[in-house]
Structure 1
Amino acid sequence: MAMVAARAGVSGQTVSRVVNDSPRVDPDTRVRVERAMSDLGYRPHRAARALRTGRSQTIGLVVTTLATVGNSRMLQATAEAAAHRGYALTVVTAEASVADAFDRLAEQEVDGAIVLNEASALVPSAARPAGLRLVVVDAVVDAVAEGDLRAVHSDHAGGAAAATQHLLDLGHPTVHHLAGPADSFAAAERERGWRETLLAADIRPPAVVRGDWSAESGYVAGPALAAASAVFCANDQMALGLLRALDDAGRAVPADVSVVGFDDVPDAANYRPPLTTIRQDFTALADRAVAALVAEIEGDAVADTSIIPTALVTRSSTAAP
């Protein structure tokens, strides 16, 4: 570090600020220090820094599964957001329980953890090691507010409302709903947005048809929804299965049935027909979760709750009846 400071013509404290990504460094000075670091082959020593700061510069990610599209995309986005802030990421699956996952993370001396989606619902009732800082993604905010946790989630209800209103504005008399699992926060919020939008329009919500997020469950739900004029699906994967089921039933999309999904997965634009859907910003969601956790670790102020906006993306799977 002293050699870097001498080569860049700055103090050792300035080099330390650059290494720790402090905003209190002039841009030109930062470039000069980074060039000196590169020329000398200098890299911060993570273990030495942990001894000095009492932090491992590592955060955990707790999931129940990585098989779902949302969780796998969140893993990628979280890893990138953590690396941007100088933190490594370790992933644990809550195979037996979330409490066991927390214990494994504590053994690895992580500075904190982010809990994703299905695992988040298990946090309020799970024992956790003292001092383990947590940010939960997709959880009941009231449950989180009772503890020293931070919550981040997409505007699931708002997105569902936009999807439902889009179909009503096209002239459909009602909108059916292919919902996600009953124990999912995201599924419950999307169902709430759909239901409240119909009730606000003085329309009695039809009976919910429930899937498990998979395309197969969307296909299985097809017969129950084949006579519908419009269907809002709680995710794009179930919408994909439904599109196939409707085709098998001789129902054309969107001529006979309009379909809207949720997530805007990369393949949604290449469905047949291209899928109208609600876009979740997984990059912003992960970045907000990591920012909240790092702020908690480093003692900075952070808001208790963050809600990331969603957006309607209109494609060819919806039309007037």
Structure 2
Amino acid sequence: MTAESTSGTPRQPAVRRAPARRVSMADVARLAGVSAQTVSRVSNGHPSVVGSTREQVLDAMRRLGYRPNSAARALKYGEFRTIGVILFTLSTVGNSRTLEAIVDHAAHEGYAITLIPVAVPTQDGVLGAFTRLGELAVDAVIVIMEVHLLDAATMTLPLGIPAVIVDSTGGDRYTVVDTDQADGTRQAVRHLLDLGHRTVWHVAGPEDSYAAERRAETWRATLTEAGLPVPRMWRGDWSADSGYRAGLELADEPGCTAVFAANDQMALGLLRAFHEKGKVVPRDVSVVGFDDIPDSTSFIPPLTTVHQDFTEVGRRCVERVLRQVHHRRTKAGTTLVPTRLVVRDSTAPPPA
């Protein structure tokens, strides 16, 4: 008997549709007129494919609706071609520029980036981020640490996943890439002393920052080695506002003729405060920053600062972590990227 609906109309038998066949890499290769290997390279973002061929393959992918299957690729090649990046904040110049460099160099090597921000910089926060990265399937991880987590005896990174740490003291246990904070600070302080200043005041970064601590320690040590007094240190938070607040007080300090700020943003705040207090830079007080951000040449006056090569930091991070991915056996240790002092118009000999 034929089934009927409630309205009395005979119900038509359901028609089963055959599942649509997934578009394959071979389909794309046939349409684009290239090899499957070329399609694979384009899919992985490999730079070896010339522009016209790349566009030809991408056009075929769009027309066919092709989407690379990362799981299948992992089964075939043993990797996902993805690097996870864990970081606590993008608000600082160093972190944002380091991340940009990591993304660029990873893409050059044919790897994508999965970003996992950690809202609270704790061990649980980092381990939770590792768990999420495991679910997202990555081959390795780069941790832009900055704060003092690896100094704690209880802080360990999960075993079995290649990892590189940026801006940390963990070089005895992990692979670390960092700017040479100490040498950059030493160059800045020595520059001011060589100009004839009797001492150098310091506006430091946050207390929990490894970079800020290393710069403050080296500032203090350089003055001590020179047999000069170590004045009171002001503490900022990397922002121009914190540098401004310190500058309002430093302008009233007798004998303050030279200030080393732990980053360029705080140095910018110093320049504003000194201007409002009637101090002329560098006639009355010299100022040195750290970072060499692009805008530092447009400060009034243009800022003398320590140049950090964030591009090289990012390149070495990717290089070190991929070395672990491909070879597995690598020794822990710290790689320091050199810094250099860039002398502009914000420093001069002290007033007579």
TM-score band by shorter chain is 0.7 to 0.9
Give the structure 1 partner of residue 339 of structure 2.
310
Aligned length: 307
Once residues 39 and 65 of structure 1 are traced to their aligned partners in structure 2, the CA distance between those partners, rounded to angstroms, is 39
Unmatched 5+ residue regions in structure 1? 23-29
Give the structure 2 partner of residue 131 of structure 1.
160
Give deviations 1:238-288, integer Å, cap 9, x for gaps.
101111111111111101000000000111000111100000000000110
Matches within 5 A, 1:174-253: 174-226=199-251, 227=253, 228-253=256-281
TM-score (norm 2): 0.78
Three-state SS of the structure 2 residue aligned to 1:91 is: strand
Three-state SS of the structure 2 residue aligned to 1:172 is: coil
Give the structure 1 partner of residue 111 of structure 2.
87
Give the structure 1 partner of residue 86 of structure 2.
62
Q: Which amino acid aligns with 1:319?
A: A
1:117 Cα deviation (Å)? 3.7
Once residues 85 and 176 of structure 2 are traced to their aligned partners in structure 1, the CA distance between those partners, rounded to angstroms, is 14
Once residues 106 and 78 of structure 2 are traced to their aligned partners in structure 1, the CA distance between those partners, rounded to angstroms, is 18
105, 119, 131: which one aligns with 1:103: 131
Once residues 302 and 20 of structure 1 are traced to their aligned partners in structure 2, the CA distance between those partners, rounded to angstroms, is 25
Give deviations 1:51-96, integer Å, cap 9, x for gaps.
1122111111111111111111112111111111111101111124
Unmatched 5+ residue regions in structure 2? 1-24, 62-67
158, 173, 177: which one aligns with 2:198: 173
Q: Which amino acid aligns with 2:308?
A: Q
Q: Which amino acid aligns with 1:269?
A: T
The answer to whether the 8 A contact 1:99-1:126 is kept is no
**Larger displacement relative to structure 2 (186-195 or 233-242):** 186-195
Q: Which amino acid aligns with 1:74?
A: T
Three-state SS of the structure 2 residue aligned to 1:216 is: helix
Give deviations 1:281-321, integer Å, cap 9, x for gaps.
00000110111001111116656321000010111100111
1:132 Cα deviation (Å)? 2.1
Task: State percent identity of aligned pairs.
Answer: 48
Three-state SS of the structure 1 residue aligned to 2:76 is: helix
Once residues 330 and 126 of structure 2 are traced to their aligned partners in structure 1, the CA distance between those partners, rounded to angstroms, is 25
Give deviations 1:134-191, integer Å, cap 9, x for gaps.
1101111xx4413xx2101001110000000100111111111111112211111111
Give the structure 1 partner of residue 286 of structure 2.
258
Q: Which amino acid aligns with 1:207?
A: R
The change in CA–CA distance for 1:274 and 1:76 in structure 2 (over 3 A counts) is same
Give the structure 1 partner of residue 74 of structure 2.
50
Once residues 241 and 221 of structure 1 are traced to their aligned partners in structure 2, the CA distance between those partners, rounded to angstroms, is 8
The change in CA–CA distance for 1:19 and 1:207 in structure 2 (over 3 A counts) is same
TM-score (norm 1): 0.85
The change in CA–CA distance for 1:39 and 1:181 in structure 2 (over 3 A counts) is closer
Q: Which amino acid aligns with 1:145?
A: D
1:129 Cα deviation (Å)? 3.8
The answer to whether the 8 A contact 2:180-2:339 is kept is yes
The change in CA–CA distance for 1:144 and 1:120 in structure 2 (over 3 A counts) is farther
Q: Which amino acid aligns with 1:55?
A: E
Please provide the CA RMSD for this pair.
3.0
Three-state SS of the structure 1 residue aligned to 2:89 is: coil
